[in-house]
Amino acid sequence: MENFMTFRHCVFNASPRLNIILGQNGSGKSTISCAVCIVLGEDLRLLSRGNKLEEYIRYGEKQARVKVGYMFCLIKQILLRGENSDIEIEVRIHKGSADYYLNGKNIKKDKLKSLRRALKIDLSNLCQFLPQDRVSDFVNQSPQDRLFEFERSVGGEESVHAVF
């Protein structure tokens, strides 16, 4: 992250498995979850923060950048047709606009939606992505709804329809 919210420069190395972000108030937990959501082209309403991307630019700066790297064999097979299994997604946020990049090439935000679907990444599913501001939404779900969302997160939409 560069010039994103309160961070001038920050590198966060995530595990390929479960990642839990812990820290004191004001340490940047929400900043990391906002960055993940935004770089994957998700709807800002999931964050309960700023309504415009430019609100995520660090005060006094002209642009912000968030970059994530993934390494999936699945991506190689599905999307890149064997070219490369490493993938890098970047968003550059300017006042009034944002540019998205996949492996250095400018892409439309819709391509990120296709990528998320192919990888079964659903940031609206609280079992996959639980920002601090939405913990109460998760707690207030009925046990049936939590089970449904959990099954959807591990098996995808198809497996849930087969059961219900």
Per-residue model confidence as pLDDT tens digits over 15-32: 777 778 888 988 888 888
Overall domain count for the chain? 2
CA dihedral 88, 82, 125, 17 (to 10 degrees): -70
Across the chain, mean pLDDT equals: 82
**pLDDT digit string, tens, across residues 103-119:** 899 999 888 888 888 77
Residues 9 and 61 grouped into a single domain: yes
Residues 136 and 95 grouped into a single domain: no
Contacts of 82 by beta carbon, 8 Å cutoff, 6+ apart = 76
Count of C-beta atoms within a 10 Å radius of residue 145: 12
41 SS3 class: coil
Residues 89 and 14 grouped into a single domain: yes
62 SS3 class: coil
CATH number at residue 111: 3.40.50.300
Domain span including residue 74? 2-121
Residues 85 and 98 grouped into a single domain: yes
pLDDT of amino acid 115: 82
Residues 141 and 81 grouped into a single domain: no
Rounded to whole angstroms, how far apart are CA atoms 79 and 85? 10
Rounded to whole angstroms, how far apart are CA atoms 157 and 91? 28
Residues 105 and 163 grouped into a single domain: no
Residues 158 and 92 grouped into a single domain: no
**145 pLDDT higher than 70:** yes
Query: Six-digit token pair at 76?
Result: 């190689």
- Mean pLDDT computed over 136-158: 84
Residues 32 and 73 grouped into a single domain: yes
Q: Which stretches of 82-128 are assigned E, i.e. beta strand?
A: 86-94, 97-102, 105-107
Rounded to whole angstroms, how far apart are CA atoms 13 and 16? 10
Residues 116 and 152 grouped into a single domain: no
